[in-house]
Amino acid sequence: MTLSVDARKSFGGFALDAKFTSSGRLTALFGPSGGGKTTLVNLIAGLERPDGGRIAVDDAVVFDRHAAIDLPTHRRRVGYVFQDGRLFPHLTVRGNLLYGRRLTPRHERWGSLDRIVAMLGIGSLLRRRPASLSGGEKQRVAIGRALLASPRLLLMDEPLAALDQARKEEIIPYVERLRDEMRLPIVYVSHAIEEVARLADTIVLVAGGRVIATGSVNDILARADLRRHTGQAEASVVLLTRVVGHDPGAGVTVVEHSAGRLTLPLLADAAGAIVRLRLRARDIALAVGDPGRLSIRNLLAATVVEIAAAAPPFVEVRLDIAGDPLVASITRDAARALELRPGLPVTALIKSSALDRFSFGHGAVPATE
Q: For residue 366, tell me if it sits in a domain.
A: no
pTM of the prediction? Answer: 0.88
Cβ contacts of 184 within 8 Å, gap of 6 or more = 147, 151, 152, 153, 154, 178
Domain termination site, one of 186, 202, 227: 227
CATH of the domain at 183: 3.40.50.300
- Predicted confidence at residue 367, as pLDDT, reads 45
- 216 lies in the same domain as 242: no
- Predicted confidence at residue 123, as pLDDT, reads 92
- 17 lies in the same domain as 166: yes
b/e per residue 156-183 (b: at least 16 CB within 10 A)? bbbbbeebeeebbebbbebbbebbeebe
Low-confidence ranges of the chain (pLDDT < 70): 357-358, 363-369
- 74 lies in the same domain as 11: yes
Structural domain that includes position 184: 3-227
Q: Which of 38, 357, 3 is nearest to 184 (CA)?
A: 3
CA atoms within 13 A on the CB side of 182: 28
Q: For residue 367, tell me if it sits in a domain.
A: no
- Predicted confidence at residue 358, as pLDDT, reads 65
- Predicted confidence at residue 369, as pLDDT, reads 41
- Predicted confidence at residue 227, as pLDDT, reads 86
- Predicted confidence at residue 248, as pLDDT, reads 94
Q: For residue 289, tell me if it sits in a domain.
A: yes
